[in-house]
Amino acid sequence: MQKFVHNKNNIFTLFLIAITILFRFFNLNWGSPFYFHPDERNIASSIAQLNFPNQMNPNFFAYGTFPIYLVYFTGYILDFFLKGHPDFFVQAILISRFYSATVSLLLVFSIYFVGKEIANKRTGILAAIFSIFSIGFIQFAHFGTVEMMLTFLGLWFFYFSLQLVKNLNPRNVFITGAIFGLLLATKMSSLPLLGIPLLSVLANFLFRKTKTRVVFAELFASVFVVIFVSFFIFALLSPYVFSDFSSFLSSMRYESSVALGTLPVFYTAEFFNTVPVVFQFINIYPFLINPLLTIIFIPTFFYVCLKGVKTKNAKYLLLIVSYLILFLSQAFLFVKWTRYMVPTLPFVYLIISIGLKDFLVKSKVTRKLVLVVLIFVSIVFSTSYFIAIFTKQDSRIEASYWAKANIKDNPNIISEVYDLGIISFNPFFSNITLFNFYDLDNAGILTIKNLNPLLQKSEYIIVPSNRIMKTRIANAKQFPVGHQFYTSLFNNKAEFEKIYETPCDIFCKITYLNNPVFSFEYTASVFDRPTLFIFKKI
């Protein structure tokens, strides 16, 4: 009987691993041949212009050079053995996506290991199951961006920082510093995480019975080594931060100005009048982890806080503090993109799992029922997302083929600027005029005067995503002219009527809570499944 149960568990484990692989690696070539994701394209463009050893300046500092060099040298080695002549831009995107999927897979095992170490095996298993069916991890496994790498490194940085509470041995200190160096070389926004090992060293000091000069020297030396090793790794992987410091500084100033809202740019308009923390729990977490887990997370978070303080459990306290550093360092920025919350997800799943473990320990029947419901809901949302996005044709390509079949004679078309979704229409229509609808309120009457003649001669309007229309419809006071234009267009009060909208089936409705345009922060869908609209002049 024991052997049967053991074999049954092995089969179930293999099934979960197979599901994890399928959800992360299936259709990594989505969006081909256009590859619409703008961050992917920026990273791939930086990689494509590298030429070892002659030209290794990435000329792009919004992200760190570690992932850029990792992808470049992977392609370099592949080209050496395969002797091919690839499209370096496409190759960079595909390799980047492969690394994201691989790291997302490893992250599941890592969450299990860390959960087991800070609580018990049951906690690790539950947190791993939640991570398997995490929409956030599945989505960003398919993006050739740095979020999966940041999340993976951030979790292990927490783990080795936690080891410093117990033992300041050279191995733990060195690994902590090395991981922090990799984090900085992946994205400079990781800098606040330095507070985690500093708090670990402080906890090590507080738990010691003796406070001698030798102890103080050891503590100081540990902090120094962490900082020195991290700086060395960062400098080794990011040499052009120093040799091209002016470009790096200019990039950091631009990125920080955008993040803080001191530099208005067209792609941050949705964040006017948003409330920090509330916005993340209403517009981001329900998408990334599903609505039910978002609700469960709130009481479990406070429970783990109180339990950690009451029992002086350093593991729980550092887990909570690490989550807060990751969350609060991003939540109070002006921009509140979905990707900013992805590195917090391992900590969310661990906190939920610890809370559930203790909440449900008394009643076996209740525990099983609650866990079955939570896991079932996670499976439903993640499977719906997977089917809606990666088993179907890209919504932009789908719309372009519909337009090819239903719009004849190459008419005059007007569309929005700065949106890559329109490029899938270019092979079929040559008379597409791009107009800057972002500036309707900036330039006022002048822009309207420029737009009206275009509308008069255009027979169709293509809205290639919900980026502009969502922000303008939702912010009437901030964008009165844009609001009037888009509400008139969508309410059939203009001279155009809607003839096409990206279909939303049952899986789409589950994923986006029945509204793929307005339910979540727009980058939750605009990169992999934007909603497109086509209007025809009446």
What is the reported pLDDT for 466? 93
In single-letter form, the type of residue at position 359 comes to F
In the structure encoding, which two tokens stand for residue 49, read together? 């212009």
Distance CA 51, CA 497 (A): 51
Question: Contact, 515 vs 470, CB < 8 A?
Answer: no
Q: Find all residues with CB under 8 Å of 159, minimum gap 6, and list them.
A: 114, 117
Note the pLDDT tens digit of each residue in 27-44: 999 999 999 999 999 999
Q: Which residue has the tokens 């949106």?
A: 419
Question: Contact, 154 vs 190, CB < 8 A?
Answer: yes
Phi, psi of 415 (to 5 degrees): -145, 180
Note the pLDDT tens digit of each residue in 252-262: 999 999 999 99
Distance CA 358, CA 313 (A): 14
Q: Which residue has the tokens 């979704």?
A: 421
Peptide bond into 53 cis (omega under 30): yes
Query: Model pTM?
Result: 0.95
Note the pLDDT tens digit of each residue in 328-382: 999 999 999 999 999 999 999 999 999 998 877 666 777 788 899 999 999 999 9
∠ CA 11-130-38, rounded to 5°: 115
Q: Find all residues with CB under 8 Å of 280, minimum gap 6, and list them.
A: 327, 331, 336, 341
Average pLDDT over residues 277-281: 98
Pairing mode of beta strands 533-537, 460-463: antiparallel
What is the reported pLDDT for 244? 96
Pairing mode of beta strands 432-435, 460-463: unpaired
**Is the pLDDT higher at 432 or at 370?**
432
Q: Find all residues with CB under 8 Å of 281, minimum gap 6, and list them.
A: 294, 298
Note the pLDDT tens digit of each residue in 388-407: 999 999 999 999 999 999 99
Q: Where are the alpha helices (DSSP H) in 262-363?
A: 278-283, 285-288, 291-311, 314-331, 345-359
Instruction: Check residue 117 and report its DSSP letter.
Output: H
Distance CA 183, CA 147 (A): 11
What is the reported pLDDT for 5? 47
Q: Find all residues with CB under 8 Å of 122, minimum gap 6, and list them.
A: 357
What is the reported pLDDT for 10? 84
Note the pLDDT tens digit of each residue in 447-483: 888 899 999 999 999 999 999 999 999 999 999 999 9
Instruction: Check residue 529 and report its DSSP letter.
Output: S
What is the reported pLDDT for 2? 53
Q: What is the mean pLDDT of the chain?
A: 94
What is the reported pLDDT for 361? 61
What is the reported pLDDT for 447? 81
Q: Which residue has the tokens 């099934």?
A: 15
**Is the pLDDT higher at 136 or at 449?**
136
Structural domain spans, the chain:
2-263+272-390, 395-537
What is the reported pLDDT for 4? 46
What is the reported pLDDT for 366? 77
Distance CA 15, CA 12 (A): 5
Residue 59: CB atoms within 10 A of its CB come to 13
Distance CA 318, CA 165 (A): 10
What is the reported pLDDT for 363? 65
Note the pLDDT tens digit of each residue in 74-104: 999 998 888 777 899 999 999 999 999 999 9
Distance CA 472, CA 480 (A): 8
